[in-house]
Each structure stands twice: as structure tokens, then as C-alpha cells.
């Protein structure tokens, strides 16, 4: 149960509104922020024996922070999830501190728990091509088959998130050589569109039975409404079963594959960061670790000295 005073609830609401208006944070991010920060404030109320008022939020101590983190771990919250919640609390307190004129030292000084970062799980280039060639075989109607192939081609060929591919409209077609994409947090980036992606979208549009009005979603579901991500996920699940690919071969894995294969081909890390729309280079650097892991696998299999040690 969330124990927030009306003032605290209003304060969180004001903060979320400012994030949406000034920073353009995505709705899913705002929902997660609200859950994490409200949960933190609720814990303070329970820990202190009552509902937490706005004035009390300015007096949070390191002991309070340690108690909150200990309670979260006791509830089974993973280190990764706790680090995410702590990040949300810090974002809130930076805003709150500036607004109320105090320094939230205890909150900002709290260290996130350590956890092992999960490396992206890309598929190799051959498997990516096989997925594109096989995913359209899952549909019973030709236009749906062409649609699924076009979406997966955009994920792998352009490094799009599935939400970005599904946000395209008829106004974006015919796909130009360079396309402006609005990604997470409203951040815009320009991406090159390869010829196979252009052709796959044109093939889909030629078969799509619904009127192509400018504001209409580019990719449609079977009944003519905007396509849901689940439809592509399901088509890929069926295709990967046919191909014998692992369960990690998801729509997002195609985006990971785009980045990893560019890096393997000598792509510049900063350029890949821009193409993916990552706010931080550290996010993109995860692909370097993937590349190094693959190099070590090749080394262990092929290097004469490595074989001597076996």
C-alpha cells in the first residue's frame, strides 16, 4: 500500500509533469519513475511510523537510504532493479532540491548495488538473414508476410527499436536514403536506410489492402489498426523454432545484431552510438564486450597455444 500525503503525491505529479514537458521522457519511463519514487516515499512513511509529509522528505539520511535498500533486497528486488529505482530517486531529488532550495546529499551520495551487466545477445549475420527470409513464411496472407519481413528488415538493417519501426507512418514513405527517427525521450536521430529495407517496405505497401492516408500507421494489423509489437514477436518465435535459433532471438536482438555487426566490420563506436540513439556512450560500449567475447571464443578454438593448453 502506498502511503503518500496529498502534498507528496502532488509533488511527485509536478516532477513527472516537468519531465514530460521539458525532457520529453517516454510514458513508460514516467510510469516506472512514478512507481519507484512513490515506493521510496511510501517506505519512508512506514519506516518512520506514518505518512511522509513534504517537509520530511528534505531530511532523509544515509541511514534512511540504507534501510530502504535493505528492505528492497529483503523483498527479493534484484541488484539491477534496485539500482534502477535508486537512479529514479536521485533524479527526483535533484529536481526537488533545486525547487525547494536544499542539497539532497544523503540521496546523491548513496551508491548503487553492484551487478553484472547483461551483454546484448545478437545473432550472427547468417542467422539474421535467415530470420528475415523465414519470418514471412509464418503468415497465411501475402500482405502480412510482406509486412513482417519489412519490419524485421528495418530492425536489423537500420537498428531500429520495434517501437520506432511501428511508429512510422505513410508520410514517411517512400523511405528516403536518410530517415529522421524520434526515439526514447523524444531524442531525434538520422539513420541511413539501406536499399533492401526500402524495397521490403515498398513490397509490403503494394500488397497492403488498406487505404494509404498520410497520417496512417505504416504497419497495420490484420484488421487494419496499428500493428502491435506482439504480432512481430510471435512471427519471430515461430521462425526461430523452424531455424533452431535460441529464445534470445527477439526483435530487440536484431537491433543488437545491427550494432554488433557494424562494430565487427570496423564501425566507429561514436557513430554506432548515434545510429542507435543511445544517450550515453557507455551503453554502446556493451557491444565492445560482445565483440571481445567472440574474439576470445575464436582464439580458444583456433589458436595453437590455446589448443596446447587443452
Every domain range in the chain assigned CATH 1.10.443.10: 125-299
* CA dist., res. 23 & res. 21, Å (int): 6
Q: Residue 118, Cβ neighbours under 10 Å: how many?
A: 8
3, 94, 252, 294: which one is catalytic? 252
Q: What fold characterizes domain 125-299?
A: hpI Integrase; Chain A (1.10.443)
* CA dist., res. 11 & res. 26, Å (int): 19
- Give the pLDDT of the chain (310 residues) as one tens digit per residue: 456 788 888 999 999 998 888 766 677 788 889 999 999 999 988 888 776 777 888 888 999 999 999 999 999 988 888 988 999 999 999 999 999 999 999 999 998 887 655 555 777 878 888 898 899 888 889 999 999 999 999 988 888 888 889 999 999 999 988 888 887 766 778 888 888 889 999 999 999 999 999 899 999 999 999 999 999 999 999 998 888 888 888 888 888 777 776 666 555 555 555 555 544 545 445 555 545 545 445 445 544 444 444 3
Q: What fold characterizes domain 6-109?
A: DNA polymerase; domain 1 (1.10.150)
25, 147, 240, 278: which one is catalytic? 278
Residues in the chain, total: 310
Which residues fall within 8 angstroms of residue 63, CB to CB, at 6 or more apart? none
Every domain range in the chain assigned CATH 1.10.150: 6-109
303 carries an active-site annotation: no
278 carries an active-site annotation: yes
* CA dist., res. 292 & res. 288, Å (int): 6
147, 161, 256, 261: which one is catalytic? 161
184, 187, 216, 294: which one is catalytic? 184
Amino acid at each position: 500500500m502506498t502511503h503518500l500525503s496529498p502534498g507528496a503525491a502532488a509533488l511527485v505529479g509536478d516532477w513527472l509533469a516537468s519531465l514530460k514537458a521539458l525532457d520529453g521522457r517516454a510514458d513508460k519511463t514516467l510510469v516506472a519513475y512514478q512507481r519507484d519514487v512513490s515506493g521510496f516515499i511510501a517506505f519512508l512513511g512506514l519506516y518512520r511510523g506514518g505518512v511522509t509529509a513534504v517537509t520530511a522528505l528534505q531530511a532523509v539520511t544515509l541511514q534512511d537510504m540504507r534501510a530502504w535498500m535493505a528492505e528492497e533486497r529483503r523483498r527479493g528486488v534484484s541488484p539491477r532493479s534496485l539500482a534502477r529505482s535508486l537512479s529514479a530517486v536521485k533524479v527526483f531529488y535533484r529536481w526537488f532540491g533545486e525547487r525547494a532550495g536544499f542539497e539532497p546529499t544523503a540521496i546523491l551520495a548513496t551508491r548503487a548495488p553492484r551487478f553484472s551487466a547483461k551483454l546484448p545477445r545478437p545473432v550472427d549475420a547468417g542467422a539474421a538473414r535467415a530470420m528475415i527470409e523465414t519470418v514471412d513464411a509464418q503468415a497465411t496472407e501475402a500482405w502480412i508476410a510482406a509486412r513482417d519481413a519489412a519490419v524485421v528488415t528495418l530492425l536489423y538493417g537500420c537498428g531500429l527499436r520495434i517501437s520506432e519501426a511501428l511508429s512510422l507512418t505513410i508520410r514517411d514513405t517512400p523511405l528516403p536514403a536518410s530517415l529522421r527517427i524520434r526515439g526514447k525521450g523524444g531524442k531525434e536521430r538520422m539513420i541511413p536506410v539501406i536499399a533492401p529495407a526500402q524495397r521490403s517496405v515498398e513490397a509490403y505497401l503494394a500488397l497492403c489492402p488498406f487505404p494509404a492516408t498520410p497520417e496512417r500507421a505504416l504497419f497495420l494489423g490484420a484488421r487494419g489498426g496499428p500493428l502491435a509489437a506482439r504480432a512481430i514477436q510471435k512471427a519471430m518465435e515461430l521462425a526461430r523454432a523452424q531455424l533452431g535459433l535460441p529464445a534470445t532471438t527477439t526483435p530487440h536482438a536484431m537491433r543488437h545484431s545491427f550494432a554488433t555487426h557494424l562494430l565487427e566490420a570496423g564501425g566507429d563506436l561514436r557513430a554506432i552510438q548515434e545510429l542507435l540513439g543511445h544517450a550515453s556512450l557507455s551503453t554502446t560500449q556493451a557491444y565492445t564486450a560482445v565483440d571481445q567475447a567472440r574474439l576470445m571464443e575464436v582464439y580458444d578454438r583456433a589458436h595453437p597455444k590455446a589448443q596446447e593448453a587443452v
